[in-house]
Amino acid sequence: MQHIDPQPCHSLPPGGFLMQQIVASGQVYLRYQRFSLCLTDLPCGMDQAQLQAVSVDPCGVRVERRCDCCRGGIPVTLILPLCCQLWDGCRQASASARIEVPMQLRPCGDPRETDRARPFANACVRLVRACGCCECDRVDAWLDVWAQAWLTACRPMYGGGCPPPCPPPLPLYPQPCRMR
């Protein structure tokens, strides 16, 4: 009987990979704040329109770093583009606006990692009360604003353990039973 040795088990060398991790984060909740919205893309003849709804365009949310130094945090400004729904009694129209929200991000580790980090943000805006009709492409509104922002950086991660050992070789055919 000839015994055939199985192929040697090839294990991958222990290595690493990059993983995106949060290096700073923060959130802000502005409850019942008054904002003066400068409307753009307003159709003609909508000068006596009433503001009906406000929402955030999630694709246009931006995070910009501020220059002022602040102890214990990273000062940023969230720029939130808004889609405003207006009604003038006869027709409905939409217009664009934007608001800026200041925020502090708290570092989650080494503050030097925040220099090369990428910002991400998420926001939600709700119209609480409109203040009269729009005048000269401007309308005042009371809004609830909730926003979160993160700075993420790629950190190296290394595989810690050794790969599992190769399984024992299997016989090519069943072993004969011993007779008693």
| Euclidean distance between CA atoms 27 and 112, whole angstroms | 21
Structure token pair of residue 44: 């003609």
Query: If you count DSSP H runs as helices and E runs as strands, how many of each does the chain have, helices first?
Result: 0, 7
Those residues whose C-beta lies under 8 Å from the C-beta of residue 57, and which sit 6 or more positions away, are 81, 82, 83
pLDDT, residue 167, reads: 78
Those residues whose C-beta lies under 8 Å from the C-beta of residue 30, and which sit 6 or more positions away, are 101, 143, 144, 145, 146
Tell me how far the alpha carbon of residue 155 is from its chain's centroid: 18
H or E element in which residue 74 lies? strand 74-87
**Distances in whole angstroms, Cα of residue 34 to Cα of each of 56, 134, 140, 142:** 16, 15, 7, 4
pLDDT, residue 97, reads: 93
pLDDT, residue 87, reads: 85
| Pair 25, 149: CB distance under 8 Å | yes
pLDDT block averages, 10 residues each, the chain of length 180: 53 67 93 90 77 90 80 87 87 90 89 85 91 78 94 80 71 71
pLDDT, residue 139, reads: 86
